[in-house]
Structure 1
């Protein structure tokens, strides 16, 4: 009886003429085993047939056991060299498959070298498996080298390489490889097209994608559900939702992938309503949502701040037993934070067993958006103590939090920390420099902000000068604001924001002629300002308002509520700040203008249409004005409600006469 190793076992004698089709079977009933090396030896001193392990049964977990003696590195390869295991394609295939599954690049290279020294070195099936192994292990250089060394290539060879490039973010190489394949005369199959469409989507090349789409139609592969799903995804990633919908509507067969692609496409474009609509249609069509579905819908809800819908989708996920895994939790946190409920975002984070760096970044971003700078710093320090290595996004989040909370020293310390080579050695990007300019600018340290810009190792862009311009508007520095504005005009002449800021700086300083000149320049240049508006959502309906809005069906009740609230505000000590009316009119008219700002109209409407004590959520497309901030702060105490206002910069939580921003925003 032969001694049997830890992963080869047989209770019968093994003969060289035994059929090899039993070789891949897994046999694990036997638990007592002896070293593998003794397989080729016999404990019985009597004459016996030589041991041929062609029928040996190898447990997959032991296929890549290390060698103790040879340079090959794997025990199985040693046995093949000794003749104890047959050198055949099936054996090599199993070994390569195991390396691919486990991402074992070093072991895969050993097997590759062994194949090159065997009689099977030209076997096209094995050579394709080698390319696939290298690609799945992330070694595209080795995959391409192996491909180039092949004397004979088939459609699978090309497809495996194209797929490898596409899945490893080398989309240009994937498309180039596809063109070479076409020139070689080989016809692509559905897997080839699916990978090429993925690459076209990643390249955001609409024209190229359309050409490949046309080629797939000529090849007759466009009706394949996997190809069609890839085409839908490609169009959505190029922002062409019309083209994506056309392909989707023409599909005779659909799967979860094409639904997910459509839902994710709308979410990426910030069209949360359409994303939710497709989510509902998907279920009515009989398809169950996947983790990817929920993640995309949460992103869609986050883009429009749809808290109630987001909560409903969260409840739906829990009801149907879909476990909250890391990447879904990250989008769920983002949804709650961007929809105004940082408390719910914190609850999701606290329930994560092993939050990764993306999870930490998500909660840091949320805290920064809600002006909870000190809490963000505490969370960041906790992240460092737990051994989670921050990346460039982590530092950007904490810098933004420090900027919004006026934490000058902490912000500068983190900026220095990220650049320390012995610590993290992260080279700051433009966004980090913008955060530092914003940090100094908000604090009124305009000279220091200007010196910082001049000391930057990279050329400042429009965002840098825009941050300085915003700070100049905030603190009334006309000369520096003019300089910053001129730089922005040169770098980004079509952005209306800097023109408006400069005009407002002049108007606030009483330079009405200069303000008019900037407005005239905007008109002549074709630069259009987006009208300021505020909106609230009541029972799944969005109600939008602009300043002096008299178009709403409830306009009479709204204006009565505004007058009533105005009286109570003045009784509580509110004094209209007419500095925020940048028009050349008298004081009385300025006060009237302030009373009918869009966020105040939205507040009055919400007070009329929500139950007493309910939280009011208002969104605004530009920065909330200082006068409205003061008025809403007092109103929260008068009406005994929490009022949450989201503008382009952050969230303001008004409670009992105060704001979480501490009047620093």
Structure 2
């Protein structure tokens, strides 16, 4: 610094040195060091040099001091396109998209034409304004066409990414298809878009095409593809991607490692998730959160709490997601006192409880049958209960067959959000379980009038990279006869060792014989029969279901696991169920 000070006095090469150092400070995010150089420049003859001012503006904007960046911008006597781009980029990169977009009309009004970097930053801002609001993005796309930047690979990637982040994947795909030269950024943007939207199959297919085109995946590619595998619960494909990373000598950088362990946990292999966790060179709060979630989902609530205490001992500061994971673990394991203890601990770590924490506490109390305490907890909430809070109570009422409180919870939900998912179905189920078919019929009528449709239950099994999907009474599968015959044989055998069909889970107005016939061909039972037909003896069977597993199927699967001496893992919307030797990891608490 003394050398720079002397050169500033002598003006001997100081401009070039300061310019280089400021750029270096920006690259390394060293704002304080950059401020020292700025202070020296204030007394130099090139303090009003436009290039130097732009470099300073870029330093403050990129390092996140947007208040001072704006002050510098406003005080500049002259501005060029680099000046405007620096501030726009700063706003865009630091989650102030609207401020970035508001600069464009001002820039155009004084006759400055945005360059490729300006437009790329504006497109990034447009994707951050609202996840589905694509209007401003489309206007910017039109501006890119007008200025002839649509063929520029840098701008094209930004347009593609904007559409993908706004969930307009058809348009993103069109942009991708017409790109003359595609680089890893364009592939990554589209793969990530499909993964975020839950279209894991398309993301994985695109990844396969990327490999065929000999485009080398980056860490961002692997992270997105592993997210796609996690959303599908596709363990085979996830393992293949992991093997590819090992083959190509990819280092397990933090965010990819976190995604990898999350994939294993969500795909049913908590053991592999733990192995990845143990091998991570650096474990951040995201790593710990992923493991806590995994333990919770796999029925290992007490292990999750032990790991949380370990996390605190080594001084990893928990965040709001951490506490949500811990409370979910308590809810899934029925740990009431522990749940209350950890909920009260949240503010100790300067975390403000948000609505998800309250929802989980209501779920914890309600799931345990303490409906009176759940309603009291809701009444004492410092924030207004949302439809999600009442939805957790309604779910508990369905579980414990409390019609009166369930009806009250449903009314509160309809007042707040008449289209809140699952409300009508839960209310119908409560009435049907109680045999109040007239009330159930009224709910059905309400659903029809409101245009609400029940999501059809389906289960699927992945085998040799092919997914086999089943619905109740499925007769579309090529092996339908063998599947039905297999389940009928299995059903007869498990009845001999104690299984009794529970027809109360058929929520339709029909006689006992019809109810038992309906139970026979639920989607998860057909998926299990298919897996038994097509997998080697002794191998683990993995089934996914899009809604909560049926209580009768849950009972049947316990007996089947003993009969065939195999582990059966079912992933439903709530958790994983590991069936082994006539028991389930959830201990019948789900």
Q: Same fold (TM over 0.5)?
A: yes
Residue matched to 2:467: 542
Match of 1:149 among 64, 71, 75: 75
Match of 2:312 among 354, 364, 384: 384
Deviations along 1:230-279, one digit per CA (max 9) or x if unpaired, are 11111100111111111111111111100100111111111111111111
- 1:251-270 to structure 2, matched below 5 A, reads 251-270=179-198
Given that 2:8 and 2:44 are in contact with CA atoms closer than 8 Å, whether structure 1 keeps it comes out as no
1:76 aligns with 2:3: yes
1:483 aligns with 2:411: no
Given that 2:5 and 2:40 are in contact with CA atoms closer than 8 Å, whether structure 1 keeps it comes out as no
Residue matched to 2:457: 532
Match of 1:113 among 39, 62, 80: 39
Change (3 A) 1:87 1:558: closer
Q: For this pair of structures, how many residues does the alignment match?
A: 588
1:89 aligns with 2:15: yes
CA distance, structure 2, for counterparts of residue 96 and residue 621 of structure 1: 54
CA distance, structure 1, for counterparts of residue 428 and residue 261 of structure 2: 38
Residue matched to 2:448: 523
Residue matched to 1:192: 118
- Displacement of 1:496 in angstroms is 4.8
Given that 1:624 and 1:647 are in contact with CA atoms closer than 8 Å, whether structure 2 keeps it comes out as yes
Residue matched to 2:496: 571
1:128 aligns with 2:50: no
Match of 1:641 among 539, 559, 566: 566
Residue matched to 2:367: 442
Residue matched to 1:166: 92
CA distance, structure 1, for counterparts of residue 239 and residue 313 of structure 2: 32
CA distance, structure 2, for counterparts of residue 615 and residue 76 of structure 1: 69
Residue matched to 1:418: 346
Residue matched to 1:504: 429
Report which stretch shifted further, 632-641 or 490-499.
490-499
CA distance, structure 1, for counterparts of residue 208 and residue 29 of structure 2: 38
Structure in which a larger fraction of residues adopt helix: 2
- What SS does the corresponding residue of 1:125 show, helix, strand or coil? helix
- Displacement of 1:330 in angstroms is 0.9
CA distance, structure 2, for counterparts of residue 305 and residue 105 of structure 1: 43
Change (3 A) 1:465 1:185: same
Larger radius of gyration: 1
CA distance, structure 1, for counterparts of residue 391 and residue 487 of structure 2: 35
Query: Whose relative contact order is higher, 1 or 2, with alpha carbons under 8 Å and at least 6 apart?
Result: 2
TM-score (norm 1): 0.87
- What SS does the corresponding residue of 1:393 show, helix, strand or coil? helix
- What SS does the corresponding residue of 2:470 show, helix, strand or coil? strand
Residue matched to 2:108: 182
Residue matched to 1:28: none
Given that 2:4 and 2:18 are in contact with CA atoms closer than 8 Å, whether structure 1 keeps it comes out as no
4+ residue segments displaced more than 3 Å: 80-83
Deviations along 1:23-42, one digit per CA (max 9) or x if unpaired, are xxxxxxxxxxxxxxxxxxxx
- Displacement of 1:129 in angstroms is 0.5
Deviations along 1:187-208, one digit per CA (max 9) or x if unpaired, are 1111111111111112233110
CA distance, structure 1, for counterparts of residue 14 and residue 530 of structure 2: 78
Residue matched to 2:552: 627
Q: Is there any run of 5+ residues in structure 2 with no aligned partner, and where?
A: none
- What SS does the corresponding residue of 2:189 show, helix, strand or coil? helix
Given that 2:70 and 2:87 are in contact with CA atoms closer than 8 Å, whether structure 1 keeps it comes out as yes
Residue matched to 1:334: 262
- Displacement of 1:355 in angstroms is 0.3
Q: Is there any run of 5+ residues in structure 1 with no aligned partner, and where?
A: 1-73
Given that 1:197 and 1:209 are in contact with CA atoms closer than 8 Å, whether structure 2 keeps it comes out as yes
Residue matched to 1:44: none
Given that 1:581 and 1:594 are in contact with CA atoms closer than 8 Å, whether structure 2 keeps it comes out as yes
Given that 1:99 and 1:108 are in contact with CA atoms closer than 8 Å, whether structure 2 keeps it comes out as yes
Change (3 A) 1:586 1:326: same
Match of 2:247 among 319, 328, 332: 319
1:452 aligns with 2:380: no
